[in-house]
Amino acid sequence: MIERTFLMIKPEGVERGLIGEIIGRFERKGFKILALNLTRLSREQAERQYEEHRGKDFFNDLVSYISSAPVVTFVIEGENAIATAREMAGATDPRQARPGTIRADYGIDVQRNVIHASDSEDSARREIALHFGDLANEDE
């Protein structure tokens, strides 16, 4: 099934010069890049991005971190994009991620794990809308 999903290269990935390497992995896998933006999230945008974690111990640290420096937000489209992107990203904790995944190859720790990937169709739609407006609802 052709899907769209949202991805974000986190501050350390941008700072370490990994943008091209990470995006290239998705392109080489056959995904089409529909939208891409280098930006710095405001605190409000960061809070909306991670709304599902509000109230958890790590929420404020996560929001502060993700809004501390530029990030790259992008949308890909292709066959089973959501599950495949999550598989390519790897486990949240880089130490537990399978070798060859983005987080295993480049992640530092649970918070600085280089990439965010939407975890469901609903999350993808919400996150695409948050960062790219109506792109989430356009016909494929």
CA distance 56 to 2: 34
Q: What is the CATH number of the domain that holds 125?
A: 3.30.70.141
Tell me if 121 is assigned to some domain.
yes
Question: Which listed residue (86, 116, 126, 131) is catalytic?
Answer: 116
CA distance 136 to 34: 11
Tell me if 60 is assigned to some domain.
no
Return the closest-CA partner of residue 73 out of 122, 123, 30, 132.
Answer: 132
Q: Is 116 a catalytic residue?
A: yes
| CA separation, residue 118 to residues 16, 74, 121 (Å) | 22, 11, 8
The dihedrals phi and psi of 25, each to the nearest 5 degrees, come to: -60, -40
CA atoms within 13 A on the CB side of 17: 0
pLDDT tens readout for residues 120-132: 999 999 999 999 9
Range(s) of the domain holding residue 20 = 2-40+70-137
Examine the pLDDT at 72 and tell me if it is beyond 60: yes
pLDDT tens readout for residues 90-124: 999 999 999 999 999 999 998 899 999 999 999 99
Tell me if 65 is assigned to some domain.
no
